[in-house]
Chains A and B, each alone.
Chain A
Amino acid sequence: MDSEEQGLTPRASLEQEVQKLLESQGLGVLATSGPHGAHASLVAFAASRDLGSLILATPMTTRKYANLEHDPMVALLVDNRSNQRSDCHAALAATGYGRAGAVQGQQRRAWLALYLEKHPHLVDFVQAPSCALVVISVVRYSVVRAFQQVSELVLSP
């Protein structure tokens, strides 16, 4: 039984689909841009239940961190591909767009708990003083399924 049959609105259905995808995946590809152009990196992420925030951690010495300090507008791609031909029709991909920034203090503690719930093995990494906890405030998701069918889930119009 798909979600439309459950009587969900298209928005609620898409939200549920993105939520499930983000819960099922641990890694995504972060796109940043800096003085030397675009940069993509694989990151371990967690998402807030309302989909409005994506959290990731990075050493402050990395290119991605320098880039997002230079230009905080970033994208994070999460997908469930299996690297098979069937991905063309079966895989689902969602890209979250928004403004990224490192969080501090009380805010950091709250987001850190959520992040470590999903990635407990990264505790030593995230707690290092040279590691930044970055939160992307997502304004919209672009969701691709069935090869070319693209929907937009706009959180903050």
Chain B
Amino acid sequence: MTWTMALQDVRGADGPLVGDKSLALARLHQAGLQVPQGLCVTIRAYNHFLDQTGLRDRIQMELSRKAFADMRWEEMWDAALRIRNMFLTAALPGDLDEELMAELGRAFSGRRTVVRSSAPGEDGAQSSFAGLHESYVNVSGQSDLLTAVRKVWASLFSDGALLYRKELGLDPVSSSMAVLVQEIVLGECSGVVFTQSPEDEAALVVEAVHGLNQGLVDGAVEPDRWTVDRQSGKLLSSSAPERDVWIVPTADGTAKQPLEADRRVRPPLDPEQLTSVTRAALQVEVTFGRPQDMEWTIRDGRLQVLQSRPITTGRQSEAGDQRGWYLSLRRSLENLTALRSRIEGEILPEMAAEAGRLGEQDLAGLSDHELAGEILRREEIHQHWVRVYWDECIPFAHGARLFGQIYNDALRPADPFEFVQLLGSDSLLSLERNGLIESMAAQARKNPDLLQALEAGDSSVSGQDFQRLLDDFLDRFGELFCHQASCTQGRADVLALVAKLARQRTSGNQSRQDRVAGLETAFFKAMGPQRQAEAREVLDLARASYRLRDDDNIYLGRIEAQLLRAAQEGQSRMERKGVLCPHPDPGSVAAALTNPERAMVCQEESQPDQPVRGPVVRPRQILGQPAGPGVIRGRARVIHTLEDLRFLESGEILVCDAIDPNMTAMVVLAAGIVERRGGMLIHGAIIAREYGLPCVTGVSGALEAISTGEVITVDGYLGIVTLA
């Protein structure tokens, strides 16, 4: 066997070939403990796959597009998804495919298995990748087993694993991965033993659940817990949760189900079993010579060891260790569903109500002192909602990510971000808003007099229909224009935008809808008849994730607009007193209102650059991420402040730091987008795909390198921006 090795044949020197987990289990088997039968797909197989397919270089290229240190975690996730897709779609070399099919078939024919990661250094005493690399429970059939092996290989490059390696200073590309396939043991109860309690070195801790231990490991099922004296075996304490669910195998994986009534009332382990688990764990500790974290299961009264690794010390106990946070990047469908109802049912309605209350307040009637207090109160309110937004709304973006992974597993598309097209929904607030603008533009296109008048900022010649649309728009979305320019200019800005849009060509939406319908059908078909409900649930969640990530920004924008409205009232009063200050921050307006001696903090007007003598560095091509397919060449409009957006002309390429959903009303004018902020699921990327605009995101230094008026080319297929 060139690429595989039976677990019982593994010896001490084989560690670099089979990885930590397999080596540990082989040692336990030799020490006389019961270990499920297993087959190791060696590191040689992993390397052969990478070398023969060119994958090693492709991964290297993917990860070197941007300095690791400069990548936001969203960009890491994008890179991880691209790499995962490479692992899923690259053809296995013939010889490897042949041996794996034959050996997996021989070892597990017709039986169900667990497919686990077993990377060298994975279970070190100083670092632990537990939970960062993937395992798949209840897999059967050679083809599904091979897919699971590919996914375990790919998990070496999951976002969490990439970030953790970055923290440890390890090079992900030189890391490697073996895979351990074991027959599944469907235990009556399962659990974990820590042979040394973190709170008491003289004690050990046993945790146990009914059924499979997957629920315990990923936190979905609360375990019973016993603390036992290591020396005497005496029970020191125990605790029992409300036992209501357990994890059971299903046709193609596992599921959390209500626990049977008779199991709810009894602990998973009786005292005798607790003793045998305790003894086995201490024997394992002796075998390895250090405290262990051991997973076990009991079936037909026999204890089997599923895995054992040293209890991690060092980094994990250091305050700076973020592994828990990396692990939190993997959110379950259940967790995300709960988050969705909180956002939809509580957060967004509260934000809308807050903006409404603030909008009704008559600011002109307040004294200077009262207005100052109101500005500060609004600043606090705004800060509160910004925190809620970061803590609860942003994590909900994982809904779209979870769907992306499931979509790619089912369809293995050439473009790993094909799924993004299914996220769009016409009920998005910003699309609704843009639809209203488009309706006004359509009227102006038909009426040249109206168009001319609008260009002059006059809407008096329009008919009733147009006025109704305009009033409706200003009612519902007017404050967004207030937010991006000034409140008094809001109406004029809307008219100017409508006029610009009326001069632009119209674009049909039908072909996009047909394409999306085709992708959706393909997705449901690929998920198979057994998984239709899951497919519906995860797609619905992903759409909500996308819609809410858009809507929450808009609601937050409304609250910010109300803060700015109060600040603007204060600024106008100061101007009437002869104090001029461009773009003051709200806090300093409040301070100046109560104490006119206090100077307001104004934004400096930018000074033109001094001419440089000698050699100059001029970027010619800048690399980012391909975020919206297509190529476009045009004049750049660089957005340094929101005021700049007012000058965006139809057909220009929008170059900005980050597209805020409140900016999307103007984005429809752009012919392409270049964004400094990186990510495939950020607003700019999604809106670009929605409107079919070529888009490159994650372009470091875009705002410094590109000037307004400069002709640039955006290659949204390759993620390249070419200057001149």
Residue of B at shortest CB range from A129? B717
- B54 in contact with A123 (CB, 8 Å): yes
B123 sits at the interface (CB 8 A)? no
- A128 in contact with B713 (CB, 8 Å): no
> Considering the chains assembled together, what is the distance between the CA atoms of A22 and B19 in angstroms?
40
- A120 in contact with B631 (CB, 8 Å): no
Tell me, rounded to whole Å, the shortest Cβ–Cβ distance linking A119 to chain B.
7
Tell me whether A119 and B54 are in contact in the complex, defined as CB-CB below 8 angstroms, given that A60-B631, A61-B631, A130-B631 are known contacts: yes
Cross-interface CB contact of B715 among A119, A127, A130, cutoff 8 Å:
A130
- B717 in contact with A130 (CB, 8 Å): yes
Residue of B at shortest CB range from A116? B54
Residue of B at shortest CB range from A120? B54
Tell me whether A131 and B58 are in contact in the complex, defined as CB-CB below 8 angstroms, given that A60-B631, A61-B713, A120-B53 are known contacts: no
Cross-interface CB contact of A124 among B58, B60, B621, B633, cutoff 8 Å:
B58
How many residues of A are in contact with the other chain, CB < 8 A? 16
Residue of A at shortest CB range from B57? A121
- B629 in contact with A129 (CB, 8 Å): yes
A72 sits at the interface (CB 8 A)? no
- A125 in contact with B54 (CB, 8 Å): no
- B718 in contact with A130 (CB, 8 Å): yes
> Considering the chains assembled together, what is the distance between the CA atoms of A59 and B633 in angstroms?
14
- A121 in contact with B54 (CB, 8 Å): yes
- A128 in contact with B718 (CB, 8 Å): yes
How many residues of B are in contact with the other chain, CB < 8 A? 21
- B722 in contact with A128 (CB, 8 Å): no
Tell me whether A131 and B61 are in contact in the complex, defined as CB-CB below 8 angstroms, given that A62-B722, A121-B54, A123-B54 are known contacts: no
Report chain A residues within 8 Å CB of B715.
Answer: 59, 61, 128, 130
Cross-interface CB contact of A121 among B61, B620, B633, B718, cutoff 8 Å:
B61
> Considering the chains assembled together, what is the distance between the CA atoms of A61 and B713 in angstroms?
7
Tell me, rounded to whole Å, the shortest Cβ–Cβ distance linking A22 to chain B.
19
Report chain B residues within 8 Å CB of A60.
Answer: 631
How many interface contacts (CB-CB < 8 Å) are there between A and B? 43
Contact residues of A between 40 and 71, Cβ < 8 Å to B: 59-63
B720 sits at the interface (CB 8 A)? yes
Report chain B residues within 8 Å CB of A63.
Answer: 620
Report chain A residues within 8 Å CB of B620.
Answer: 63
> Considering the chains assembled together, what is the distance between the CA atoms of A125 and B621 in angstroms?
16
Interface string of B59-98 (1 = CB under 8 A from A): 0110000000000000000000000000000000000000
- B717 in contact with A128 (CB, 8 Å): yes
- A121 in contact with B717 (CB, 8 Å): no
Interface string of A110-146 (1 = CB under 8 A from B): 0000000001110111011111000000000000000
Tell me, rounded to whole Å, the shortest Cβ–Cβ distance linking A123 to chain B.
7
Report chain B residues within 8 Å CB of A131.
Answer: 717-718
Report chain A residues within 8 Å CB of B621.
Answer: 61-62
> Considering the chains assembled together, what is the distance between the CA atoms of A5 and B292 in angstroms?
69
> Considering the chains assembled together, what is the distance between the CA atoms of A110 and B432 in angstroms?
47
- Does more than half of chain A's interface fall in helix, strand or loop, or is it mixed? mixed
Tell me, rounded to whole Å, the shortest Cβ–Cβ distance linking B166 to chain A.
22
> Considering the chains assembled together, what is the distance between the CA atoms of A136 and B20 in angstroms?
51
> Considering the chains assembled together, what is the distance between the CA atoms of A130 and B631 in angstroms?
7
Tell me, rounded to whole Å, the shortest Cβ–Cβ distance linking A54 to chain B.
20
Report chain A residues within 8 Å CB of B60.
Answer: 121
Tell me, rounded to whole Å, the shortest Cβ–Cβ distance linking B705 to chain A.
16
Residue of B at shortest CB range from A125? B718
Tell me whether A61 and B722 are in contact in the complex, defined as CB-CB below 8 angstroms, given that A121-B54, A123-B58 are known contacts: yes
- B61 in contact with A61 (CB, 8 Å): no
Tell me, rounded to whole Å, the shortest Cβ–Cβ distance linking A152 to chain B.
35
Tell me, rounded to whole Å, the shortest Cβ–Cβ distance linking B713 to chain A.
5
Interface string of B675-719 (1 = CB under 8 A from A): 000000000000000000000000000000000000001010110
Tell me, rounded to whole Å, the shortest Cβ–Cβ distance linking B157 to chain A.
15
Most buried by B among A119, A123, A125: A123
Tell me, rounded to whole Å, the shortest Cβ–Cβ distance linking A47 to chain B.
18
Report chain A residues within 8 Å CB of B713.
Answer: 61
Tell me, rounded to whole Å, the shortest Cβ–Cβ distance linking A124 to chain B.
7
Report chain B residues within 8 Å CB of A119.
Answer: 54
Residue of B at shortest CB range from A130? B717
Residue of A at shortest CB range from B56? A121
Residue of A at shortest CB range from B60? A121
Residue of B at shortest CB range from A121? B57
Tell me, rounded to whole Å, the shortest Cβ–Cβ distance linking A117 to chain B.
10
Residue of A at shortest CB range from B62? A124
Tell me, rounded to whole Å, the shortest Cβ–Cβ distance linking A128 to chain B.
4
Residue of A at shortest CB range from B61? A121
Report chain A residues within 8 Å CB of B414.
Answer: 127
> Considering the chains assembled together, what is the distance between the CA atoms of A96 and B36 in angstroms?
62
> Considering the chains assembled together, what is the distance between the CA atoms of A60 and B715 in angstroms?
9
- B54 in contact with A61 (CB, 8 Å): no
Report chain A residues within 8 Å CB of B720.
Answer: 59, 61
Tell me, rounded to whole Å, the shortest Cβ–Cβ distance linking B125 to chain A.
36
Tell me, rounded to whole Å, the shortest Cβ–Cβ distance linking A122 to chain B.
8
> Considering the chains assembled together, what is the distance between the CA atoms of A61 and B722 in angstroms?
7
- B54 in contact with A59 (CB, 8 Å): no
Tell me, rounded to whole Å, the shortest Cβ–Cβ distance linking B397 to chain A.
25
Tell me, rounded to whole Å, the shortest Cβ–Cβ distance linking B540 to chain A.
31
Contact residues of B between 616 and 657, Cβ < 8 Å to A: 620-621, 626, 629, 631, 633
Report chain A residues within 8 Å CB of B722.
Answer: 61-62
Most buried by B among A59, A60, A121, A129: A121
Residue of B at shortest CB range from A124? B58
Report chain A residues within 8 Å CB of B53.
Answer: 120
> Considering the chains assembled together, what is the distance between the CA atoms of A123 and B86 in angstroms?
11
Tell me, rounded to whole Å, the shortest Cβ–Cβ distance linking A62 to chain B.
7
> Considering the chains assembled together, what is the distance between the CA atoms of A127 and B629 in angstroms?
13
Tell me, rounded to whole Å, the shortest Cβ–Cβ distance linking B52 to chain A.
8
Tell me whether A59 and B718 are in contact in the complex, defined as CB-CB below 8 angstroms, given that A129-B629, A130-B631 are known contacts: yes
Interface string of B29-67 (1 = CB under 8 A from A): 000000000000000000000000111111011000000
Of the A-B pairs whose beta carbons lie under 8 Å apart in the complex, a sample of 9, sorted by A's number, is: A61-B713, A61-B715, A61-B720, A62-B621, A120-B58, A121-B55, A123-B54, A129-B717, A130-B715
* 3 pairs of A and B residues whose beta carbons are closest in the complex: A120-B54, A121-B57, A128-B717
Give A residues with C-beta under 8 Å from B: 59-63, 119-121, 123-125, 127-131
> 14 other contacts beyond A59-B715, A125-B718, with CB at 8 A cut-off?
A59-B718, A59-B720, A61-B713, A61-B720, A120-B54, A120-B58, A121-B55, A121-B56, A121-B57, A121-B60, A123-B58, A128-B715, A129-B717, A131-B718
